[in-house]
Structures are given as C-alpha cells and as structure tokens.
Amino acid sequence: MIRFLRDGHARVGVVDDHGVVRDAGDDPLRPSPGGRALGPVGEVELLAPVAPSKVVCVGLNYVFHGVETGLALPDAPLLFAKFPTSVVGPGAAIVLPLGSTQVDYEAELGVVIGRRASDVSSADALSYVWGYTCVNDVSARDLQFADGQWVRGKSQDTFCPVGPAVVTAEEIEDPQALEVSCRVNGELRQRASTADMIFGVAELIAYISRGITLEPGDVIATGTPAGVGMSMEPPCYLAAGDVVDVSVSGIGTLRNRVVT
C-alpha cells in the first residue's frame, strides 16, 4: 500500500504485481480494492504511506549498535519520540538544519499499528500490526547529545522518512527474519537481521502499550543496527547531495536526498 498526491489530495494506492498503481480511496488503513489503474508507480508523487499521530522509537535495540556507541545495553526498551512533523515520504529531501554539523542516518524496520492497542500481551501483540515499512531515524548527533535527551536531535523537520510502502502483516511471515540495510551514495553502511534485535516486535508493542495507547496508523521505529556514521573512524556524517537508501527485505527501498 502506498499514499500519493493526486489533484492536491492524498490518496491511497495498491501496487499490483506489474508495478501499476490502482486507486484505493483515501484511508490507508482501509484501502478499497479494485480501483481504477492510474499508471506505473514511478509516475505518481509518493507521500509517506501513513500519517501517524505519533512515532515511537527504540534506542540501542541491536547489540552491536550498543557496542559501537559505547553505551550500556538497556534492560528494558529505551523509548523516545519523533514528532509527526518530522515525517516525510520517499523521494522527499532530508534538510540539514541550521546549527548542526553531525546529521546521521539510521535504517530501521517500521511497524504500523492497525487497531487501538492498550496494555496488550506479547502473545497477542502481533495481531495489532497492520503492516511493516522502512524508516530512516535521521539524527542530529550534536543536538541529541548536547540536550541530554533526544527529542530535538531526532525530531527536526524531515528527520523521519517513511516508506516507500506498507506491506501488510499477512505478507510478512516473521518480522524477526528480515534484513535491514542502509547505503549512502551506494556504499553499504549497515546490514543486519531483525533476529538480532534485543527486544522483538511483539515485546516492543506490549511494552509500549503499557500506559501509552497506540492508535491505528501509529509507527514504531524498532531500532537501528551497527554502522551509523558517528561510529565510523573518522565519523562520517551526511552532507548536502548525499543519497540515503534504507532497505528492508520484503518491503522495498526508501530513498531520500540530503539538502541544505
């Protein structure tokens, strides 16, 4: 499922096996099948496939990412938020903010909630998932660590690319058996399996929903593997003109260009 702009309005589309977009209405959580064909997916202006009321993110959720940062691994999921105003779609620009020189990429599996989830169990948690997508948890490291908490460094406008599509939960046999990767200008920077998560998708949903109600369309960004720019020797941050590709197997590739 995708969202795209048509005549100034956000519409929902379903992409068939031939890469043709069919109009599926205006509700991404309840697409209408069998809409008229609009043409190849490459010819429509893509938006983020969902418009979440909140994006809940998980820090230090891969062992080797924790090791490369030098931070202690958490005993429970380490949560923070990105504001909805940070969400952009595939092809949108990542804008380098004034006052930051350390903007980094983070490839992540995104989980899209399909129905209201409050205090759910790990055993039932996956039944609340509508689908999965790619997320780039863009981070201004200098702002992130200067503040002592992460919201400002993580929630700058354009700092949450999502897409290119949502693949429904029934199409993903096991969310803990997916490859997550990131390339910058074609160079592989990150690659790992979601099997390497410290806290899996079901455990994350159950933990977050204890006191934080997840609404349909909300996105959980499940953490990033090792290979972020700040941990390279020397650190390698994003610059204007860079192209960042975040890929998740079975979902696709989210591509965004960096601009000033």
Of residues 187, 170, 188, the one with CA closest to residue 179: 188
d(CA 132, CA 135): 10
Domain end position, chosen among 12, 29, 47: 47
29 and 103 in a single domain? The answer is: no
Q: Is 205 left (phi over 0), alpha (psi -120 to 50) or beta?
A: alpha
Q: Are residues 25 and 70 in the same domain?
A: no
The 3-state DSSP composition of the chain as helix, strand, coil percent (nearest 5) reads: 20, 40, 45
* 122 and 197 together in one domain: yes
Task: Say how many domains are in the chain.
Answer: 2
Output 130 or 28, whichever has higher pLDDT. 130
Strands (E) across 83-128 are located at 87-88, 93-95, 103-104, 107-113
Q: Residue 227 pLDDT > 90, yes or no?
A: yes
Cis peptide before 235 (omega within 30 of 0): no
Global pTM reads 0.96
pLDDT, position 7: 86
The per-residue pLDDT for range 84-122, each reduced to its tens digit, is 999 999 999 999 999 999 999 999 999 999 999 999 999
Classify 64 in phi/psi space as left (phi over 0), alpha (psi -120 to 50) or beta: alpha
End-to-end CA distance of the chain: 31
Mark whether 188 and 87 lie in a shared domain: yes
pLDDT for res 225: 97
Query: Are 206 and 249 contained in the same domain?
Result: yes
Are residue 87 and residue 211 in the same domain, yes or no? yes
Percent of the chain with pLDDT over 90: 85
Q: How confident is the prediction for the chain on average, in pLDDT? A: 95
What is the structure's pLDDT at 183? 98
Same domain assignment for residues 66 and 179 = yes
Q: Give me the domain span that covers residue 188.
A: 48-259
pLDDT of residue 15 exceeding 80, the answer is yes
Same domain, 87 and 137: yes
Residue 51 structure tokens: 């418009």
